[in-house]
Structure formats: C-alpha cells, structure tokens
Amino acid sequence: MFKFIFLLIFFLTKFSYSYSNSWFTSAADYDSSKYSNLNYITKDNIKNLDTAWVYNNGHVSDRTKSISNNQSTPIFTGNSLIVTSLDNFVIALNPENGKEKWRIKLKSPTAKRGMTFFDGNIFVPSLEGVFVINEHSGILNNTFGKFGLIGTGDKEISLVPPIVFKDKIYIIYKTFLSSHELPSGKLNWKLDLNRARVWSGISFDKETESLVFVTSNLVNLLGNTKIQNDFSNSVIVVDSLTGKLRCKFKDTIHDHWDLDMVGNPILLKKKNQTEKLAYAFSKTGNTFVIELKSCKLKNSDSIKKIKTSNESAIKGEIYSDYQIEVSNPVNLMNLKYNLEEYLSYISKDKINLEYVKHRTRNTKSDSSYIPLSLNYDVIMLGLHGGPEWPGGTHDKLNNQIVIPTNHYPWIVRIYYNCCSKKKVSEVKRKFDLSLRNLTNLKGFYTYQKKCKSCHGKRKNGFYEPEFTGDKYIPSLNGISTLKKFESLKDVNSFNYAHKYSSKIKINESELNSLRKYFTKRDNYLLENDVYRIDGRWQLLLDKNGNFASIPPHGKITAFSIINGKKNWQIPFGQKKYKDNKIINGDMNFGGLLSTKGNLIFATGTTDKKVVAIDALNGKKLWNKQIEFAGSSPPMTYYYKGEQYIIINSSGGRYYGYENKLGDAIYAFKLL
C-alpha cells in the first residue's frame, strides 16, 4: 500500500513537472501558446503589480565586440526558475526571491532562443547539440547521451529549445533536425534542410506525431535561390516517428529580400472542434493555417497569387513571376513603401524633405518584391517583419492570436565588391596586377588624394549595418558601367551627389581623369571577372535619424481564430523624437504573453517598458520602466501562493535601442 502511494505521488509529480506546472519550455508548451492559465493578476488588481525582485547574472555583452542580447525566455520547473547568461551559464533561481541556487557553464551559444524542462532534467541547446542538466544538482546528467550531451556529433549550433517527449528527443540544429532515443542518445533519424535555417522555436503535436516549424531564406540577397521547391521560407511539418516530410508550404519564392518565415507556429484547436491547426507566420505578414492530420492548408481560399516581375537585371539571378498574399487570417504587413505619401507627410519640414529626396533619388519602391539591381536601390518594409522571431501568443480565453509586428523602411543595395581573393591571385599570376599601370595615372592619384578616405582603398565604400545606423558610402567598383557614373559627368553632378557628405573641391579636368581611371580599371577587372556582386540592406532614416516612413513603426494585432478577422490593433511602444515629438508605435523585439487574467503582457520596445494590455480591446492598463529593453517574450509562473511575471531585460541589438546592453531578469508580483 505504501509503495502504491509512493508510486502515485511519483507519477503525479512527474506529470505536474512537465505539463500542469507549466512554462516548461520557452514558448510555454509544445503548442507554443505563450499562454498561461494563471489568473491571479487581473484587470482589477493590476494597479498593484510591482517589482518583486531583480536578478543580474553578472555578464554584460560588450557592444563593441558582439552586439548580443539575451533572447532566451526563462523556464519554470516547479521548484526553480531557470535562466541563462551570455557567457554561457545556465542558472537556477529561487522563484520567490531571485537568489541563485546553482549555475553551470556550457558551450556557446547556450540556449540562444530557449530551453526545455522535462522529467527532472533541463535540456539546453548549444554548440554540438543538447546538454542535459539535473534540475536539483545543477550538474550534467551522465545517464543521458555522452556524459550528458545528446547530438549527432556535427559541429553545428542548436539555437532553439528541443522537444522532449516520452523516450525521444528532437533536436533542432540550424540547418537540420535529428531524433534520438532517451536516455542513450542513439540517433533515430536526421533530416537535412539544405541550408534553410530554423531561427525560431519548433512546435510539436503528439496526436499527429508532428513537428512543425518555419524556415529562413538562404542567407544572401543573391545567387542562392535556384530551386523553387526547397525548404527555405516555408512552414514544414515532419513526422516525428520517421523524420519524413509530411508537407510544406512556401511563402516567398526565390527570396531576394530576406523575408524569412518567423516565430514558433502556434498549434491549437478551435472551441468545440477536434481538428488540430498550426498557425505559421512570415515577415511578409502572411499567415498559413494547416490542419495537421491531413497536412492540408485550411486557408487556401484566402491565398491569392500576385503578379511580380521576373526580369532580373543581374545575370544568373532567378525571380518568380508571382508571390502570394494571404488575406485570412488578416494580413499583418504591407511590404510596399510609399515614397510619395511619406514625402507629403514630411513636406512642412523643408530641410528634411530635401534630404530624404536626395537619399531616395535613385530608388524603386512602386510595388512589392521588386527585382534587385546594380543600377537602382529598392525601398521596402519587412526585413525586420511584420512579425519577427518572438512570434505571437494564443490567448485561449478570447479565442484569438495576438502578435507584435514591425513597420519601418529598408533600402536594399546591390554593388560590385572588389575583389574576390581567389580571382585576384589567378589574375596576378597571369599579369602583374598593379592597377597603377593598368589605369589612368592622374585619375589614380586624384582618387588617392580626394576620394580614398571615404570610398576606400578597394573602392568598396561603407554600408553601415542596422545595429548602429544608416551611413552609406557607395562602392565605386564597376561604376563606369553603372548609372551612378552620371554623378561624375560634371562638377555640378558631383557636388549634388555629395551634398550631405563632402565639401571636397574638384575641377573638370580632375573629373575627366577620374572617369578615365574608373573606366580602364573596370574594363580590366570586369574582363577578368574579379568583381563579385554583393548585396546589403540598410535602414532608411530621415535627416534626424528617425525611420523614414509614416508611423506607427510597431503594432500589436489581435485576430480571431474563429473568423480570422482583426479584433483590435494598437501602436506598440513610444518614441520621443529629437524635436520632442512623441511617436506612437516603435520597433520591437521582445514579445507577448497572454494570461487567463484577460491580460496581454508585452515588452521589447526602445522605451524600455513592460506593458499590460486588456486582452479584449488592446487598452493599456499598466506599464513599468525597466533598466534595459525587454529582449524575449515574457513568461509567468505560480509559486507559494503568488503569480509572478518574468521579463528578460538585456536591451536591444539594433539602431534605435539605447547603446547599453544588460543582464537583468525582472520579476513582478502583486504587492
């Protein structure tokens, strides 16, 4: 009898570990709901919500070396809150006061986008696979895999939480998936995604034995999109037992614009229905709804093909003659940038207007999915979403999905890069590649004296990445074959091109020799195929450093899972411009949590706030300033009679966020 009770207690705790005492994986559960049944904190008492404790892990990333923040939502074991640090520690905290219980150092990157707790162990993705840590001792659990490490042996990073279920683990590496037996770690199967990457978390449906996830584009803006029917930019359903593909649906075809699919697909059943559905999101604003048993698209009726240009100006590049647009669930994004509308929006500010006109003088933005070219730049929205990797939350109480989005402009630039190292050495073997001899000497010296300081020795210019700003100095390689060459036509054109950058004086004769110099050099290097075509995207900012598009630049949208229509939409976050104007709706990279208290918690905006929103109408009910911007979706747990809200506060990586990165975890409770 005693033994029976013991076993009963054992199974009950085992059960509660993994499911009832929820938030066992970074997206809450394997449906990736980011929803909690807890309803201690409600609309009525939220005014009493305040800081319970703040924990600092002690390691702040050095912005000058690597701009990384903590994107791993903590998990709850029932006894401890498990957090991570950017110097690769997994740390157990006392849920009541945030005091450290233990910490263990693993390999980089440790739990980049989350981890999973199952059956007394913490499963942490990292370099080479998944480490298994005993919840109580905080040391590697040797009974699993090779001294507590499970993986295929490949040196490839796993970024997102693994799925652990019964006696199997599913590991998601950057470009492949694998399944292993537990505890041995023996490999069951491996599925290669052919360079498509899994940045966001993966979901799992145990009824249909399905693993559901989305993939990125193939790294570059160029040359990587030969096949249409590959794994990139897709939502993918895999049979967890065999590793066989069950179905996949592609969003952007031949993606040249970095329009990844993003976020953990949300799995759910509609009220009183038996079908299990997966909702998968894309930066394009499209949402796919898949019925998991049949692996069929449920919303194919609302998917429209839109005609796009398939004429590439760049040799060898393939473009699709159509892309798709989903209207139900409601589309979350408009990729098209409207330059005219924006210019009229800023028309009163003549100085800014002039600046933006200059900045956009050689661009195209008249439709979505414009082919890229060496001769013009493309302006569009969407490279940071629409939706982004934090994805949405399934607010079960109100039968809706709530999801944050970004809306600010990008300028996509293609240019000749000098020089492919291999080619240079080949050419050097044939000739003496002393460009001085192969070019116009006067032009060469003029370049050295008057242009090199900005456009660079190799003439590659400078394209500031989105982490710090939008500084742009064009590459001058190949320029004699491009439209840009017109800027060297005469002194006026030269001066106009440099209106905001250089006061350098130049005369017609110098320009003439520069033209000869560029032409000879280009002829030689193009003939020998030494240039490489590259692409970069940059933020498009106005003269004051603000996003050059009409706000809001960030939104939260709630849409009904019953009819796919929008329930409400609000600007997310606030930004104070230099002229003290307040702009509603800002860039955001945090995420959302929904609770049975009829609340949505949101974070990740540059104003460094956590806000609580009425789930029924989007009304803001509560907010709190934190030291560093929220950096992953919030989570919640219940411990010793109280509900806690947890915010990962480590700052933002992109231009627009404060420079300072942090190491904090904030816990809020009713005081």
Smallest gap, in angstroms, from Cβ of residue 370 to ligand HEC?
A: 18
Smallest gap, in angstroms, from Cβ of residue 645 to ligand HEC?
A: 45
Whichever of 509 and 617 has its CB closer to ligand HEC, that residue is 509
Whichever of 28 and 372 has its CB closer to ligand HEC, that residue is 372
Smallest gap, in angstroms, from Cβ of residue 487 to ligand HEC?
A: 4
Whichever of 46 and 506 has its CB closer to ligand HEC, that residue is 506
Whichever of 461 and 652 has its CB closer to ligand HEC, that residue is 461
| Surface-to-core class of residue 256, CB atoms within 10 Å of its CB (0-12 exposed, 13-18 middle, 19+ buried) | buried
For position 514 contacting ligand HEC by CB under 6 A, the verdict is yes
For position 479 contacting ligand HEC by CB under 6 A, the verdict is yes
| Contacting residue, 68, 328, 367, 502, with ligand HEC by CB under 6 A | 502
3-state secondary structure of 670: strand
Q: How many residues bind ligand HEC (CB under 6 A)?
A: 22
For position 444 contacting ligand HEC by CB under 6 A, the verdict is no
Q: Tokens 């796009």 belong to which residue?
A: 308
Smallest gap, in angstroms, from Cβ of residue 547 to ligand HEC?
A: 17
| Contacting residue, 113, 246, 283, 359, with ligand HEC by CB under 6 A | 359
Whichever of 56 and 502 has its CB closer to ligand HEC, that residue is 502
| Surface-to-core class of residue 53, CB atoms within 10 Å of its CB (0-12 exposed, 13-18 middle, 19+ buried) | middle
Smallest gap, in angstroms, from Cβ of residue 472 to ligand HEC?
A: 6
Q: Tokens 């590793």 belong to which residue?
A: 243
For position 498 contacting ligand HEC by CB under 6 A, the verdict is yes
For position 378 contacting ligand HEC by CB under 6 A, the verdict is no
For position 295 contacting ligand HEC by CB under 6 A, the verdict is no
| Residue 666: its H or E element | strand 664-670
Whichever of 370 and 451 has its CB closer to ligand HEC, that residue is 451
For position 506 contacting ligand HEC by CB under 6 A, the verdict is yes
Helix, strand, coil: what percent of the chain each, to 5? 15, 35, 50
Smallest gap, in angstroms, from Cβ of residue 417 to ligand HEC?
A: 16
Whichever of 198 and 488 has its CB closer to ligand HEC, that residue is 488
Kind of pairing, strands 296-297 and 303-307? unpaired
For position 497 contacting ligand HEC by CB under 6 A, the verdict is yes
Q: Which stretch binds ligand HEC (CB under 6 A): 275-283, 336-344, 373-381, 476-484?
A: 476-484
Whichever of 34 and 455 has its CB closer to ligand HEC, that residue is 455
Measure the CA–CA gap between 349 and 352, rounded to whole angstroms: 6
Whichever of 37 and 453 has its CB closer to ligand HEC, that residue is 453
For position 472 contacting ligand HEC by CB under 6 A, the verdict is yes
3-state secondary structure of 184: coil
> For residue 338, what are its two tokens?
């409207």
Smallest gap, in angstroms, from Cβ of residue 451 to ligand HEC?
A: 3
| Contacting residue, 45, 66, 347, 501, with ligand HEC by CB under 6 A | 501
AA letter at 512: N
Q: Which stretch binds ligand HEC (CB under 6 A): 85-93, 294-302, 371-379, 466-474?
A: 466-474
- Phi and psi, residue 103, nearest 5°: -145, 150
For position 484 contacting ligand HEC by CB under 6 A, the verdict is yes
CB 380 within 8 Å of CB 531: no
Q: Which of positions 296-355 make contact with ligand HEC (CB under 6 A)? A: none
> For residue 380, what are its two tokens?
């569009």
Q: In what order do the strands lie in the sheet with 149-150?
A: 116-118, 121-126, 129-134, 149-150
- Helical H segments across 62-179, by residue range: none
Measure the CA–CA gap between 210 and 200, rounded to whole angstroms: 17
Smallest gap, in angstroms, from Cβ of residue 519 to ligand HEC?
A: 12
CB 419 within 8 Å of CB 459: no
Q: Which stretch binds ligand HEC (CB under 6 A): 140-148, 297-305, 499-507, 519-527?
A: 499-507
Smallest gap, in angstroms, from Cβ of residue 485 to ligand HEC?
A: 7
CA angle 594, 596, 599 (to 5 degrees): 50
> For residue 370, what are its two tokens?
């414009």
For position 453 contacting ligand HEC by CB under 6 A, the verdict is yes
Measure the CA–CA gap between 444 and 480, rounded to whole angstroms: 14
For position 455 contacting ligand HEC by CB under 6 A, the verdict is yes
Measure the CA–CA gap between 390 and 401, rounded to whole angstroms: 13
Smallest gap, in angstroms, from Cβ of residue 511 to ligand HEC?
A: 8
Q: Which stretch binds ligand HEC (CB under 6 A): 70-78, 369-377, 409-417, 467-475?
A: 467-475
Measure the CA–CA gap between 119 and 227, rounded to whole angstroms: 42
3-state secondary structure of 544: coil
For position 451 contacting ligand HEC by CB under 6 A, the verdict is yes
CB 221 within 8 Å of CB 256: yes
For position 516 contacting ligand HEC by CB under 6 A, the verdict is no
3-state secondary structure of 206: coil
AA letter at 67: I
For position 411 contacting ligand HEC by CB under 6 A, the verdict is no
| Residue 526: its H or E element | helix 508-527
Whichever of 324 and 541 has its CB closer to ligand HEC, that residue is 541
For position 379 contacting ligand HEC by CB under 6 A, the verdict is no
- Phi and psi, residue 12, nearest 5°: -65, -45
CB 392 within 8 Å of CB 419: no
DSSP secondary structure string for all residues of 128-197: TEEEEEETTT-SB-TTSTBTTEES-S---BB-SPPEEETTEEEEEBSSEEEEEETTT--EEEEEE-TT--
| Contacting residue, 114, 474, 552, 571, with ligand HEC by CB under 6 A | 474
Q: In what order do the strands lie in the sheet with 635-639?
A: 49-56, 664-670, 642-649, 635-639
Whichever of 91 and 533 has its CB closer to ligand HEC, that residue is 533
Beta bridge mates, 129 = 126
Q: Which residues bind ligand HEC (CB under 6 A)?
A: 359, 362, 450-451, 453-455, 472-474, 476, 479, 484, 487-488, 497-498, 501-502, 504, 506, 514
